[in-house]
Amino acid sequence: MADHIRVAIAGYGNLGRGVEAALAQNPDMRLVGVFSRRDSASVTPLDSQVPVYPMSEIETFADDIDVMVLCGGSKTDLPEQGPYLAQFFTTVDSFDTHATVNDYHAALDTPARKAGTVALMSVGWDPGLFSLNRAFGEAVLAEGETYSFWGKGLSQGHSQAVRSVDGVKKGVQYTLPSEDAIARVRRGEQPELSTREKHVRECYVVLEDGADADTVRDTIVNMPHYFADYDTEVHFIDDETFARDHSAMPHGGFVIRSGVTGDGNKQSIEYSLALGSNPEFTASALVAYARAAYRLAQRGESGARTVFDVAPGLLSPKDPAQLRKELL
């Protein structure tokens, strides 16, 4: 066993940068390198000492890396990279296409079992910490309703989906909770609300020269899983406005479980996040779960895993007796 958990990053955008920053806050882990499909010279880690390698050579590092943190997008990168890299590495990713989680789980599970690696998927805050709070809420309060609200905030996965559309030069997507829906939940009404009743989606797009706005708008609002089921607004803006108003990446939201026990006693559990940087927070969750994935693999476990399968103590650098003494 190495002195440090040896971690590498596959894909170096906002999320990859966040993982590098989070690793620097965790002294039991060490960043071995960054893998990118881009020309290595054009990739500049925060720490200039961190080596950058071409993605095409990643297999040759199988013996040098304990955990590979996958920082690509869910729409096209992860469905391909996840199952491929699970053949060589214990991996952690933030796959967030809710509709296909079980397909992705199956696609990871086979190569990971065969290789004896752990493939820990859908880590972050939603999916991830919000998922856990939905599970805890309904397990503890068996009779009740669970509500997840997001925003106002920038969604990385949906912004990437917007940017994948032909004709889009720059794009961001914000999710906003419906004020009316929140008010009803907080009054304890336990209303039935569809996801589209709870939120609206706003996209801000800079078009490529010559792109047709109506075609771009139609492609976005009809995109399955991402936008088709929501009220989606698309705003077209220029480069200057985009740079001025849409460069920060805040987010937040909450999960509420509103339940009843015994002879009608109301019980409420609320989990909320106020995030100055969404990618840095997601990255911080990935790094904590990278520690857990490493420990699961060290124990001889293999196969696909989600946050539901990971005992919370495995996330902490503290040993079990210290955790009990300090935090129980």
Name the site residues for a copy of itself (rule: CB under 8 A).
17-18, 21-22, 25-26, 98, 101-102, 105, 122, 127, 129, 131-132, 134-136, 138-143, 261-263, 265-277, 280-281, 283-285, 288, 291, 306-313, 315-317, 320-321, 323-325, 327-328
Distances in Å between the Cα of 114 and the Cα atoms of 80, 119, 296, 310 are 17, 12, 16, 20
CB 11 within 8 A of CB 77: yes
Provide the minimum distance between the beta carbon of 17 and a copy of itself in the complex, in angstroms, as a whole number. Answer: 8
CB 278 within 8 A of CB 250: yes
Provide the minimum distance between the beta carbon of 144 and a copy of itself in the complex, in angstroms, as a whole number. Answer: 10
SS (H, E, C) 34-78: EEECCCHHHCCCCCCCCCEEEHHHHHHHCCCCCEEEECCCCCCHH
The smaller minimum CB distance to a copy of itself, of residues 216 and 283, is found at 283
How far is 218 from 1, CA to CA, in rounded Å? 53
The smaller minimum CB distance to a copy of itself, of residues 91 and 306, is found at 306
The smaller minimum CB distance to a copy of itself, of residues 44 and 60, is found at 44
Q: Which of 15, 13, 6 lies closest to 279 in space, CA to CA?
A: 15
Provide the minimum distance between the beta carbon of 37 and a copy of itself in the complex, in angstroms, as a whole number. Answer: 24
CA 294, chain centre distance (Å): 19
The smaller minimum CB distance to a copy of itself, of residues 209 and 263, is found at 263
Provide the minimum distance between the beta carbon of 274 and a copy of itself in the complex, in angstroms, as a whole number. Answer: 4
The smaller minimum CB distance to a copy of itself, of residues 85 and 315, is found at 315
Provide the minimum distance between the beta carbon of 205 and a copy of itself in the complex, in angstroms, as a whole number. Answer: 25
